[in-house]
Amino acid sequence: MHLKRWLTGLIALPLLIFFIYRGGLLFCLLVAAGSLLGLYEYFRIVLQQPEKIVSAQTLTAAATGLLLIWAAHIASSAGMIAAVAVNVLAGAVIVVAQVGRNPAVLETVKKQFQGFLYIPLLLAFLILMRNSADGMRWILLLLCIVFSGDTAALYVGTLIGRHKLAPAISPGKTVEGSIGGLAAGLLVGLLAKQLLLPALSWASAVGFCLLVGVAAQLGDLFESALKRASNVKDSGSILPGHGGVLDRIDALLFAAPVAYLCRGYIL
């Protein structure tokens, strides 16, 4: 598994950096693809029944999610709000139309709302950040923190982990792994800061690294809770050694808005 994990990372990382470097429409398309794949895997987890994965509810989430991401790309806050509103209204129409013959539709629409907010909305913050001043550098710094923290948490937890972090959610995660992940994210983040954003103060960089690191671990635990509730091990198998797309971006989903807000309103 570890060899596959590293090979997948070594192949995917240069492509990811290329998309980030180019930015613009190309980066928007990458995020849109991640949104569609992530939503598919999310519905596979929470709906479980294959016949429900493609339905009016899931297609609504996909369509309004793409609308939201496009609005972020063109920097239209009104468009982003409109995408959320369209999603809510479409969900209401589906409930009214189906609830008489399918009382479970309300629960499905709730899961659709959650998936829309969880994946397209949070991913849109990557586009907002990339399109801001020094956006490429901030995105690269974010990825350095998240990916190094995720990798260190895995290996530190495997080697010396003794105390369970959240056994009801993910029995394999440990306190030692969590601390190791935060430490690695901080160390790698500070090194990356010096290369990418040397003007950023050390105090601000430390705060940024720690907040992003904590958010990333929370995102990992949230996806683990979803899988645990549905008795699913991986969200998919598209990335050898990593599982599904959602398994790879779960930490990034929570870290992206925290990074964007820190960069724009705190630092």
> pLDDT at residue 52 above 80?
no
| Domain spans in the chain, listed from the N-terminal domain onward | 1-23+133-267, 24-130
Nearest to 251 by CA among 178, 156, 202, 161: 178
57-103 confidence digits (pLDDT tens): 899 999 999 999 999 999 999 999 999 999 999 999 999 999 888 88
Query: What pLDDT band is residue 266 in, cutting at 50, 70 and 90?
Result: confident
Neighbouring residues of 13: CB distance < 8 A, sequence distance ≥ 6: none
Sort residue 190 into left (φ over 0), alpha (ψ -120 to 50) or beta.
Answer: alpha
Q: Per residue in 146-197, pLDDT tens? A: 999 999 999 999 999 899 999 999 888 999 999 999 999 999 999 999 999 9
Q: What is the pLDDT of residue 139?
A: 97
Decide: pTM greater than 0.95. Answer: no
**Which tens digit of pLDDT belongs to each residue from 198-255?**
999 999 999 999 999 999 999 999 999 999 988 888 777 676 656 789 999 999 999 9
Q: Which of 115, 127, 126, 140 is nearest to 36 (CA)?
A: 115
